[in-house]
Chain A
Amino acid sequence: MYEFNYQNPASVDAALAAHQDADDGLFLAGGQTIVTVMKQRLAMPSDVIDLNGIEDLRGITTRDSVISIGSMTTHADVAANADVRRLIPALSDLAGMIGDPHVRNRGTLGGSIANNDPAADYPAAVVALGATVHTNQRQIDAGDFFTNLFETALEEGELITKVDFPGPEKASYEKIHNPASRFAIVGAFIAKFRDGVRVAVTGAGPCVFRLSEIEDALNADFQAAALDGITVSSDRLNSDLHASAQYRAQMITVAARRAVTKAGQGDRT
């Protein structure tokens, strides 16, 4: 690992100031991606600004049926949280599927979505649930947040503080695992709200995307059979050692059908 200055601010303001002052500052959240990247000498920040000491960024609160998750909340804490289990069990399930137990004890919501790995799980939940990403500067709608491969709407030095997830009527996440990395080859998150269904897919393309054809079909009829005959184009989907674009395209419909069926079974209302 290259050398760097390490900073451990106790507040968001201090973190922002440290980033401002640095030549090339990097926020360190759970570190489950970035420490590995730095270890392989693929990143050379001048300053690493550790967010783990900022208590304000942790925690889960609930108001009405919106769950507000601090950006530095670990996947393990999200998975275990009673309110998340009660209001959005699919989100709890998803968090419990990220990586492995060790990763879940350190990895954070904010770190994950700021990184926007195309095979990460959280982006699918953020988009399908129509979450709102709060930063120190503004609020960003889910639909505007994830912009491209490893890119988000965040500006240089902008820090995610929390993400608000509205509780749906039904939701489910179906993940087809990469057997080596355990990331998503395809991950489909389906959420049904009173005003409509949202379907977001991760793992298949360079960035999470919604599927309007599937959403329309489910809006008309929220069951797996409604998706009969729908195919997803493999254009612009990822192809790699583990899965071709054609396979991913097909698995999107498979995952979507299974998510719908599971969501139907887990009806909270």
Chain B
Amino acid sequence: MPVVSLTINGTSVVKDVAANTLLVQFIRDELGLTGTHVGCDTSQCGACAIHVNDMPVKSCTMLAVQADGCKITTIEGLAPDDNLHPMQQAFHEHHGLQCGFCTPGMVMTAVAFAKDNPDATEQQVRRALEGNLCRCTGYQNIIDAVLDGAKAMREAG
């Protein structure tokens, strides 16, 4: 059985993992981090989005073994203290979530996007969320949250 060695939310992990384990399953079942969700089986919904080496990736479309040597950040690792990350705070302020199921993937995608695009326009944000489906909010509050969160992230430095 292959061994995967990675850091997740700042912690080193070394584990045996069956090759046919998806990264999302490894994160949820092996590591017990259930904040990353599974919402589909064709890689459309984005509820499983995490950061791999700081890039947003769908963890349902990667094998766990492929994450060997990688730095993984999940929703649980975004703000390690009890405080909220500026993007999380922005989602809260703007009512950018309802049932919360798409939210971890949405926030992770938003954070990565905002880091690279601190002055994003509304149109750019809409495009950036192409890979994240939400059925509850109608997206508008999410977009406002991302725009605000990006500004807050930039100001926080």
Which A residues lie at the B interface, using CB under 8 A? 1-6, 8, 28, 31-32, 35-36, 38-40, 48, 50, 52, 76, 99-103, 105-106, 180-182
A8 to B58, CA, bound (A): 21
What are 20 pairs between A and B in contact, CB < 8 Å?
Answer: A28-B66, A32-B43, A32-B61, A35-B60, A35-B63, A36-B42, A36-B61, A38-B20, A39-B22, A50-B66, A99-B131, A100-B46, A101-B109, A102-B49, A102-B58, A102-B61, A103-B131, A105-B52, A105-B55, A106-B57
CB distance from A92 to the nearest CB of B (A): 15
Q: B61 near A35 (CB under 8 angstroms)?
A: yes
B130 within 8 A of A: yes
B31 within 8 A of A: no
A39 to B21, CA, bound (A): 10
Which B residues lie at the A interface, using CB under 8 A? 2, 18-20, 22, 41-44, 46, 49, 52, 55-58, 60-63, 65-66, 68, 109, 112-113, 128, 130-132
Which of B19, B42, B62, B68 touches A31 (beta carbons < 8 Å)?
B62
Q: B61 near A106 (CB under 8 angstroms)?
A: yes
Q: B20 near A4 (CB under 8 angstroms)?
A: yes
Q: B46 near A102 (CB under 8 angstroms)?
A: yes
Residues in chain A near residue B19, CB distance under 8 A: 3-6, 48
Q: A6 near B131 (CB under 8 angstroms)?
A: no
Q: A1 near B22 (CB under 8 angstroms)?
A: yes
Residues in chain B near residue A4, CB distance under 8 A: 19-20
Q: A3 near B20 (CB under 8 angstroms)?
A: yes
Q: B128 near A101 (CB under 8 angstroms)?
A: yes
A39 to B43, CA, bound (A): 10
A8 to B55, CA, bound (A): 21
A28 to B65, CA, bound (A): 12
Residues in chain A near residue B22, CB distance under 8 A: 1, 35, 39
A199 to B22, CA, bound (A): 40
